[in-house]
């Protein structure tokens, strides 16, 4: 009798949840796989398979400020894993306290492995290629490939760890970037939203469900879709100009396309848009409705969508700040110039 009642209840809940789940699926929304094996198929790089040794080494390099010319900036400076994978300022700040010359905001590194394009103009296809950019960029870490290799090879502990991770493979700038990227491939944040898409009707509150339905009905999934709810290249300002377009000179790639930011952990990654000009989710939601969809999103609808965004707050991997190798007499000295 109890089993029959339980089955009846489960069936009723499943049937009740079916329409919204079906709508989400039809809109192209995809959950992060719950099974590690399935997730690994999406996050691994067959050309450089993930291993524990590579991830641990990549984590150290991600946090190591000595890779920068000044010795003060690490990957974590702009992609702070403690604050949603971002720095929380409108434009990224780099070498010699230089704001990004195009007034570009730092995108989150969490779930970047799911993006089809990296950087706001989509110029890199994956996290491996992307990792090479900020290290060398003058207004960011301002280092050279030679500096990176000299820093790493000057420390016997790093040399030992590279040998453990890669065998006799020579330490190159590209390998250092690949190793950082391997760590970044593990920065995945499954959320209550994923459980809902996988069939758990109780994973979202009634308000969050209403927000998800509004999000779909308004057409937001035209751009914010897939596992990352973003990460693809799309036109920007489709039906009206972005009201803060004058801040910075970024116009997208050669075709005027801009990378769609992920909505995962969006409640933790303010300020918003490529130039960090909008500080609240309410304004960001309503501005997107105006310039991309040509629709008015009311305060109530924006509040519901914002509530839905709360279900995208994912569980972050446990990150223990690593103890880094000590410098030696041959380690390049910090250069503030």
Which residues are part of the catalytic machinery?
140
- Cis preceding-peptide flag for 271 (omega within 30 of 0): yes
The pair of three-digit structure tokens given for residue 229, joined into one six-digit string: 């709810």
Do 94 and 141 form a contact (C-beta atoms < 8 A)? yes
Of the candidates 182, 159, 162, 158, the residue with the CA atom closest to the CA atom of residue 48: 182
Rounded CA separation 246/249 (Å): 7
C-beta neighbour count of 35 within 10 angstroms: 8
118 SS3 class: strand
Reported as half-sphere exposure (CB side, CA atoms, 13 A), residue 47 has a value of 8
Of the candidates 297, 115, 123, the residue with the CA atom closest to the CA atom of residue 223: 115
Long-range contacts of 93-99 (CB under 8 A, 24+ apart): 94/134, 94/137, 94/139, 94/140, 94/141, 94/142, 95/68, 95/69, 95/70, 95/138, 95/139, 95/140, 95/141, 95/142, 96/70, 96/142, 96/336, 98/138, 98/139, 99/139
C-beta neighbour count of 73 within 10 angstroms: 22
The pair of three-digit structure tokens given for residue 31, joined into one six-digit string: 């959950």
Do 263 and 312 form a contact (C-beta atoms < 8 A)? yes
Of the candidates 148, 71, 137, the residue with the CA atom closest to the CA atom of residue 335: 71
Integer CA distances (angstroms), 183 to 44, 111, 207, 216, 237, in order: 11, 12, 35, 33, 34
């Amino acid at each position: 009798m109890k089993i029959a009642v339980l089955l009846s209840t489960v069936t009723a809940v499943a049937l009740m949840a079916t329409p919204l789940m079906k709508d989400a699926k039809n809109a192209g929304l995809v959950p992060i796989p719950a099974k590690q094996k399935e997730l690994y198929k999406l996050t691994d790089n067959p050309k450089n398979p993930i291993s524990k040794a590579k991830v641990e080494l990549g984590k150290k390099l991600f946090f190591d400020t000595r890779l920068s010319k000044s010795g003060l900036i690490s990957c974590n400076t702009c992609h702070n894993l403690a604050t949603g994978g971002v720095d929380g300022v409108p434009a990224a700040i780099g070498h010699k306290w230089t704001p990004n010359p195009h007034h570009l905001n730092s995108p989150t590194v969490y779930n970047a492995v799911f993006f089809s394009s990296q950087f706001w103009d989509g110029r890199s296809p994956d996290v491996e290629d992307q990792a090479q950019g900020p290290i060398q960029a003058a207004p960011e870490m301002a280092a050279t490939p030679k500096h990176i290799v000299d820093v790493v090879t000057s420390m016997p502990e790093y040399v030992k760890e590279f040998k453990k991770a890669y065998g006799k493979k020579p330490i190159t700038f590209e390998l250092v970037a690949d190793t950082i990227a391997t760590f970044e491939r593990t920065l995945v944040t499954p959320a209550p939203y994923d459980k809902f898409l996988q069939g758990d009707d109780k994973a979202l509150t009634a308000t969050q469900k209403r927000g998800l339905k509004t999000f779909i009905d308004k057409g937001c999934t035209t751009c914010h879709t897939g596992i990352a709810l973003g990460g693809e290249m799309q036109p920007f300002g489709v039906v009206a100009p972005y009201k803060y377009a004058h801040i910075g000179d970024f116009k997208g790639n050669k075709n005027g396309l801009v990378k769609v930011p992920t909505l995962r952990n969006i409640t933790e990654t303010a300020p918003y848009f490529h130039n960090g000009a909008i500080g609240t989710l309410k304004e960001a939601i309503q501005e997107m409705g105006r310039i991309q969809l040509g629709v008015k999103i009311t305060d109530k609808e924006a509040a519901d969508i914002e509530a839905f965004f709360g279900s995208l707050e994912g569980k972050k991997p446990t990150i223990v700040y690593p103890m880094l190798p000590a410098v030696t007499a041959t380690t390049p000295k910090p250069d503030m110039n």
